[in-house]
Structure 1
Amino acid sequence: MAVVPLKDIVQRAFDERYGVPAINIFNDLTLEAVLAGAVEANSPVIVQTSVKTVRAIGSDVLFRMWEGMTAGIEVPVTLHLDHCPDRGVITECLERGWNSVLFDASELPVEENLRQTVDVVAEARRFGAHVEGEIEAITGMEDGIGSNEEGVRQPLEVALDFIRQTGVDVFAPAIGNAHGTYKREPVLDFQRVSDIVSAHQVPIALHGGSGLSDAQFTDLIARGCAKVNISTALKVEYMRSSLDFLKRAEQTDKWDPPSLFQHVGADITDLTVSLAKQFGSAGKGW
């Protein structure tokens, strides 16, 4: 396949009720490994970049990495800017070629969030790109964005009015999910997903996916969570894989960076394949 619009991936997943891994990468190794995992699993994948990663690497370099690694790729892939409250960074990424953005104005009053999201959707359309929206902050910090305080959940009609008026392509509701590592079993509002989807057929983004159980994933995906965000799980795998390799290097006194990269990359690839199988997107490439 090739690089495709976000909506091509999430709409098919929504209609067929499977979830697509939306994985936050943070360097060339993780990007390459996630793409390799998608190919191995024959799965569509949404590659996500945080604002922190865009600023650290630079949008030009990051996008050239993306272009180089996706040239001739055999599965549908798309590049998404995750949780971005900065309109300037959104414009920068859309101009570079990102396929979609999450405009995170959840800290603003709903009315102002709606007004600005309408503008972002119009801007994205000029680039042939799509937009994910949210009106409630997902609990937890992710790459310096967010809050550890749980936000107030808006009434259903407020959420539906936001979706209708803004025309967002994906909606991310707060359902008791959280970014980072769960300290205890989360209490999720499964019915809220069903209520939104029943009233408006919009693909739902599930944030805070790292640490949910198989049963929770299965239930939420069946209700319409077509985009399943994974960030913390990849970071943990990256660090643990690196630590494991370095401990053995210290024991054997063999220091070979390319072997370290190969070891970590293989583990990230395996993680991606596992996620695709877990969410039902394995074998769904086209």
Structure 2
Amino acid sequence: MPVVPMKELLDRALADRYGVPAFNIVNDLSIEAVLAAAVEERSPVILQTSVKTVRMYGRRQLADIFRTLVEDVAVPVTLHLDHCPDRSVISDCLEGGWNSVLFDAHELDVAENLRQTTEVVAEARSRGAHVEGEIEGIQGVEDGLGSDDASVVQTLEVAVDFIRRTGVDCFAPAIGNAHGQYTAAPVLDHQRVSDLVQATGVPMALHGGTGLSAEQFQDLIARGCAKVNISTALKQVYMQSSLEFLRGAEAQGKWDPPSLFTHQRTAVMSMAQEHMRTFGSSGRAW
């Protein structure tokens, strides 16, 4: 199946109230493992790249890896640029074939954020791509971006006006969620998701998904969180599986990289499948 526009994935998910998992991949192995999980589960999936990952690989090489690995994948896939405050990186990724971008301008005042996001939406539209917007920072640092300080939450009226005037295809609200591992059970403003969807009809993106319970996920998805981000869980399982395998290799004195890669792939694939089942996206491929 060819790569599918993000809007198509999310509009279907919003209509049928399931969540499309959006995994922050870190390399070719994690891309392949997530895609294998999606094929196994018959789930649509979003592959997200952080600015850090784009810069590490280089835009062209990362895009080539993505295109090669999705070529024969028979489920809907979208390539998304996660939290990016840098307009030049956004332009570069849109030129390189990314299907959607999150322009993270929450540190700007709302008026300037709105002005620049409107420009990003126009640029994306000219390339057949889509835009996720936000006006409030999601607490926590991820891939060197963000802050551990809680962001000011705007009123419902301000958020609705931003969504309508910019024309974003997806919106990431602050509802008490946070990037990284939660140190205590988060208190989430579930009603804000319902209110925003009811007022705009636009799918919401849930950030800071790692560590939420299945019940929290499913309630927020039912309210309109059609895109659900998973970053920390992938990094954690990737590195923990590596550590587990390498400790065993050291104890046995056996050093076989292909076996390590298989172990990592299995762990990432299992993690991804678990989230797909929880989000209700399994069996939703078309």
Q: Scaled by the length of structure 2, what TM-score is found?
A: 0.99
Residue 113 (str. 1) matches residue 94 (str. 2): no
Q: Distance in 2 between matches of 1:211 and 1:270?
A: 16
User: Deviations for 1:43-69, whole angstroms, at most 9, x for unmatched residues?
Assistant: 000000000000001100000000100
Report the counterpart of residue 12 of structure 2 in structure 1.
12
Report the counterpart of residue 147 of structure 1 in structure 2.
147
Q: Distance in 1 between matches of 2:284 and 2:254?
A: 41
Alignment of 1:198-217 (within 5 A): 198-217=198-217
Q: Distance in 1 between matches of 2:30 and 2:72?
A: 19
Report the counterpart of residue 43 of structure 2 in structure 1.
43
Alignment of 1:135-284 (within 5 A): 135-284=135-284
Q: Distance in 2 between matches of 1:120 and 1:62?
A: 22
- Gap runs ≥5 in structure 1: none
Extract structure 1 runs of 4+ deviating beyond 2 A: none
User: Deviations for 1:74-109, whole angstroms, at most 9, x for unmatched residues?
Assistant: 000000000000000000000000000000000000
Residue 59 (str. 1) matches residue 59 (str. 2): yes
User: Deviations for 1:205-254, whole angstroms, at most 9, x for unmatched residues?
Assistant: 00000000111001100000000000000000001100111111111111
User: Deviations for 1:132-172, whole angstroms, at most 9, x for unmatched residues?
Assistant: 00000000000001111000000000000000000000000
Alignment RMSD: 0.5
Q: Distance in 1 between matches of 2:12 and 2:41?
A: 17
Give 1:257 shift. Answer: 0.6
Report the counterpart of residue 130 of structure 1 in structure 2.
130
Give 1:72 shift. Answer: 2.1
Letter paired with 2:284: K
Q: Distance in 1 between matches of 2:39 and 2:7?
A: 20
Query: How many pairs were matched up?
Result: 286
| Identity in percent | 65
Letter paired with 2:262: Q
Report the counterpart of residue 69 of structure 1 in structure 2.
69
Q: Distance in 1 between matches of 2:4 and 2:55?
A: 24
Q: Distance in 2 between matches of 1:217 and 1:32?
A: 25
User: Deviations for 1:106-144, whole angstroms, at most 9, x for unmatched residues?
Assistant: 000000000000000000001000000000000000000
Q: Distance in 2 between matches of 1:43 and 1:22?
A: 11
Q: Give the secondary-structure state (helix, strand or coil) at the position aligned to 1:186.
A: coil
- Gap runs ≥5 in structure 2: none
Q: Distance in 2 between matches of 1:162 and 1:91?
A: 21
